């Protein structure tokens, strides 16, 4: 009986859980705008190279 009383009192005396867990941190930001111009220039140069290469092979 004393053990049951101690167990029930200890559960009421214990502080509640700390609440909900903290939110997860956001994913790291990815720098999209930093390399867009370089990517565009590289694509343009590759396109010019590919067109010139294909026109040279058609002439021959």
So what's the pLDDT on residue 42? Answer: 96
Average pLDDT estimate for 34-38: 86
The pLDDT tens digits of the residues spanning 40-57 come to 999 999 999 999 998 888
Estimate to the nearest angstrom the gap between the alpha carbon of 25 and the chain centroid: 10
- pLDDT reading at 14 higher than 60: no
Full 3-state SS string of 5-47: HHHHHHHHHCCCCCCCCCCCCCCCCCCCCCCHHHHHHHHHHHH
> What pLDDT sits at residue 32?
72
Measure the CA–CA gap between 24 and 27, rounded to whole angstroms.
Answer: 9
Percentage of the chain lying above the pLDDT 90 cut: 27
Q: Is the dihedral of CA 14, 19, 24, 25 positive or negative?
A: negative
């Amino acid at each position: 009986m004393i053990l049951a009383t101690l167990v029930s009192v200890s559960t009421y005396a214990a502080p509640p859980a700390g609440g909900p867990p903290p939110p997860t941190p956001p994913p790291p930001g990815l720098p999209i705008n930093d390399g867009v111009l370089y990517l565009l220039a590289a694509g343009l140069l590759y396109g010019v190279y590919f067109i010139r290469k294909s026109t040279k092979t058609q002439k021959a």
